[in-house]
Structure 1
Amino acid sequence: MKNTEMYRGKNVLVLGLAKSGEAAALLLHELGAKVIVNDAKSYDENDQAKALEKKGIKVVCGEHPLSLLDQELDCVVKNPGIPYHNPIVKEAVRRNIPVITEVELASVLSEADMIAITGSNGKTTTTTLIYEMLKNSAKNPLIAGNIGTVSCDVAKGAASDDVIVLEASSFQLLGTENFHPNVSVLLNLFDAHLDYHGTKEEYVAAKSKITANQTEDDVFVYNLDDPLVSQVAEKSKAAKLPFSTKEVVSEGVYVNQGSIYFKDQLIIALSEVVLPGSHNVENILAAVGAAMTMGAKVTQIQHVLKTFSGVEHRLQFVKKINDRLFYNDSKATNILAAKKALEAFSQPVILLAGGLDRGNEFDELASSLSNVKALVAFGETKEKLARTAKGAGIAEVEYADRVKDAVECAYRLSEEGDVILLSPACASWDQYKTFEERGNEFVAAVDKLK
């Protein structure tokens, strides 16, 4: 690690535990900071807090008392999930106490180079692609952030011949001051997490922090086809590397005559790429740009694109049964993500959708249902989805109690050549703890089919 003295003797409040809070508390304690951990879960039920206390770290559990801010704090390290309208966070900001997230620690302490990836959609797929593309290159890739291990844990053990490939959310980026990746990637910007950020402008501002501290020695890989992303690029001081599916950009990454090019160098024909979906072409272009910038071998990039069929729960190919193709897209927790999944297929689709009712209708989904031959709906939103489907002219609409039942129903309705797609367009919390649990039930149900 570098800058190991910058937190020695400093008073730091770690607000919220989970994986990132625990990792940050342990690292700061190791660096000689005076750490107080505050978590909303009661002490009796809080095994993490008990373990930290045994290591000599002060813990306060069960509430977030404002009095914790009366100790001349040097900074607050906030769990990304705690919103800024939380009273103790609001008061810390009012008192001009720096409020950061643990990705800030990773950035300032790591000896390794860093590639940071953000965007409204496609972060995990792009992060995974870059990580795989950098294998067998001059620098050893380490994956971190929302995917893989907590970023400050990775940074703690990273060496100068490593490169950290970090998936960064808007929640994490908002809590940064000196965050400085060598290569940053901004994929796209849509309306998202407005309940957390308040306005779209605040959301875009948080995402923009991925390049805020970059200099002309760094590289900003950005989506030229997205007007909002291009506006962010105009303000970046980094060297620009655009990618586009619509234009030939000789200084960037692009598609031309059915092939992918990096600065006019042929990389691969699209016909050789196994990852489905037009939206994934953008993710691939971004990954190629970042990986090539960091020294990936073209042969390794080609190998990855010829073999990588998707991240778990993100338009993940599960298996083929009696000429039916099963795809798990449980991560599609909103309408936009489900639309992108549906638009990835030209074959007839049997769609499995439903979940938590956030009060919205599904009219926006209708334009993407043209190749859907049947809908199997489940969860709180099943009636709303059924209305949308029937309005779009889908004759076969059935209901299921859970995803596993929906799989059996979909298979019964299917014919050879069909795609059976779980793309819920809803969050999972009405029936499942996480979208992963929902996706795992889908995969297990597919595995049981004969």
Structure 2
Amino acid sequence: MLNEELSNKANIARKNVLIVGLGKSGIAAAQAMIHLKAKVSIQDSKKREEIDTGLLSMFEDQGVKFYLGETPEDMTQFDMLILSPGVSPELPFIQAAKDAGVEVTGELEIAYRVAKGRFVAITGTNGKTTTTTLTGEIFKRAGRTTYVVGNIGNAVIAASEKSKEDDWMVTEASSFQLETTRYFKPVVSAILNVSPDHMNRHHTMGAYIAAKSNIFANQTENDYFVTNMDDPICRKLMEQSRAKVVPFSSTQQLDYGAFVQNGRLVLKKEDGTIVDFLGADEMKIIGDHNIQNALAAAAVSYCAGIDEKTIGDAIRAFGGVEHRLEYCGKIQGVDYYNDSKGTNTDASEIAIKAVGKNIILIAGGDAKGQNFDEFVKYFKGRVKHVMLLGRDAHFIRESAEKTGFSAFTECKDMDDCVKKAFEMAEPGDTVLLSPACASWDMYDNYEQRGDHFKDCVRRLES
């Protein structure tokens, strides 16, 4: 297999490898490289006293060298740098390694090289966690040995090392992971949508789109590329793919691809045959965006050879993912939803539209350089009040006030937000955490933020 050829080509056992970043991805990459008998060093911006001593001892006992709170002076000593997704390739010491001819790559690329299993890869500005999780559920229901990995929270390389030829790696791929790929080639790829995000990292839309496009860059006519006919950028990307393009749409009927016909999710094959999956009203997950997610998951799975009954049954049973419009219960006639994964304006717009009306919105955090002028237009007729949280929440307020919206309360932390929302809410209202911002100003990740929100809601009931 090509993966094995690349793994041999890499000669990992002889390489002096620097892992950059000691998060989940970095730890998994370091463990894999040790197992593959590479000489491993680890760099992290945190100082030694900020890192778990047990973790440090475990690695040091295996001969790992650390650069903590510092960077190596001589980058030419390394054969390869493996960057964690959150690490910018523009950092000076990484650029110095590139200039010296050192290979700079990421965990997803290395995982592909060492894996024996086949890859399905899904990306997009929004919806990729739901679509990846749902696709994984479909594959499992079909009886396939399936690893659901990637940006979803499970390191790709940890699963790829133990994968067998008949196994499937259903992978959520972020732009950060894709920008460091070189040979990565999934059997089925999907881009769900593309809108401005992570501009503080990619700087331009062109660079962001280019990173996303790496998902299909190495595919051939024997592979499949599933993408969104309703998204103008995705339509343009269809022309660049050498793989067989399978479009999906929630707004129009297609001559070929997946769409909604008479209230049912279907796929029309090239010969005109209609494959019927299920009725849209049979789905547990709410919102028009989830119609698109389900169509994408169905198309990906069908391209991978799974039958329509299995696909329909899995979608019918699927209840959604944690932190994405996750229902947290009803208290005194008020519904509470955790949408902490709404880390950009597009994602939060989707959540607001899905809930519909009488919303008390908790929003704010790390704005990532976003402009909120379009986002706040969705408040009209839907959002009653906004609880502002986090470092950049004032940008949301400034944009909204230009439209005449002035129903804001500034909160010091999540407990304060939930408490004040509870005091303000009336029966029939919905308290929605959908920040439209990243969590890094106050939390380690959006999961931690969502868990804090759910804990606050649980305490309301006690």
Could you tell me the TM-score, scaled by structure 1's length? 0.91
* 1:385 Cα offset (Å): 4.3
Alpha-carbon distance between aligned partners in 2 of 1:400 and 1:272, rounded to the nearest angstrom: 39
Task: Note if 1:217 corresponds to 2:227.
Answer: no
Q: Deviations over 1:365-394 (max 9, x none)?
A: 232112222333334455554565566566
Task: Note if 1:102 corresponds to 2:107.
Answer: yes
Aligned partner of 2:361: which letter? L
Task: Note if 1:325 corresponds to 2:335.
Answer: yes
Q: Residues 358 and 383 of structure 2 are in contact (CA less than 8 Å); yes or no, is this contact kept in structure 1?
A: yes
After TM superposition, the structure 1 = structure 2 runs for residues 193-342 of structure 1, keeping only pairs within 5 Å, are 193-263=198-268, 264-342=274-352
Q: Deviations over 1:269-304 (max 9, x none)?
A: 111112122222221111111122223343443333
Task: Note if 1:53 corresponds to 2:60.
Answer: yes
* 1:352 Cα offset (Å): 2.1
Which of 357, 382, 388 in structure 2 is aligned with 1:371?
A: 382
Change (3 A) 1:38 1:389: closer
Percent identical across equivalent pairs? 38
Gaps of 5+ in 1: none
* 1:322 Cα offset (Å): 4.0
Change (3 A) 1:94 1:249: same
Number of corresponding residues = 448
Alpha-carbon distance between aligned partners in 2 of 1:20 and 1:299, rounded to the nearest angstrom: 36
For 1:70, the equivalent position in structure 2 comes to 76
Q: Deviations over 1:12-58 (max 9, x none)?
A: 33233322222222222322333333333344554444422211234
Q: Residues 189 and 229 of structure 1 are in contact (CA less than 8 Å); yes or no, is this contact kept in structure 2?
A: yes
Query: 1:285 is paired with a residue of what secondary structure?
Result: helix
Q: Residues 15 and 38 of structure 1 are in contact (CA less than 8 Å); yes or no, is this contact kept in structure 2?
A: yes
Alpha-carbon distance between aligned partners in 1 of 2:407 and 2:46, rounded to the nearest angstrom: 46
Alpha-carbon distance between aligned partners in 1 of 2:355 and 2:121, rounded to the nearest angstrom: 30
Could you tell me the TM-score, scaled by structure 2's length? 0.89
Task: Note if 1:35 corresponds to 2:40.
Answer: yes
After TM superposition, the structure 1 = structure 2 runs for residues 183-194 of structure 1, keeping only pairs within 5 Å, are 183-194=188-199
Aligned partner of 2:223: which letter? D
Alpha-carbon distance between aligned partners in 1 of 2:306 and 2:148, rounded to the nearest angstrom: 15
Aligned partner of 2:448: which letter? E
Q: Deviations over 1:63-111 (max 9, x none)?
A: 11241x223x432222222212211211222233221101111112111
Change (3 A) 1:195 1:374: closer
* 1:350 Cα offset (Å): 2.1
Which of 349, 353, 356 in structure 2 is aligned with 1:346?
A: 356
Q: Residues 355 and 430 of structure 1 are in contact (CA less than 8 Å); yes or no, is this contact kept in structure 2?
A: yes
Alpha-carbon distance between aligned partners in 2 of 1:98 and 1:64, rounded to the nearest angstrom: 17
* 1:261 Cα offset (Å): 0.6
Instruction: Select between 340-349 and 267-276 the one with higher mean Cα deviation.
Output: 340-349
Alpha-carbon distance between aligned partners in 2 of 1:401 and 1:58, rounded to the nearest angstrom: 41
Change (3 A) 1:63 1:416: same
For 2:271, the equivalent position in structure 1 comes to none
Alpha-carbon distance between aligned partners in 2 of 1:236 and 1:2, rounded to the nearest angstrom: 25
Aligned partner of 2:258: which letter? V
For 1:93, the equivalent position in structure 2 comes to 98
Change (3 A) 1:409 1:83: same
Alpha-carbon distance between aligned partners in 2 of 1:168 and 1:76, rounded to the nearest angstrom: 19
Aligned partner of 2:420: which letter? C
Query: 1:185 is paired with a residue of what secondary structure?
Result: strand
Aligned partner of 1:344: which letter? A
Gaps of 5+ in 2: 269-273
For 2:435, the equivalent position in structure 1 comes to 424
Change (3 A) 1:197 1:356: closer
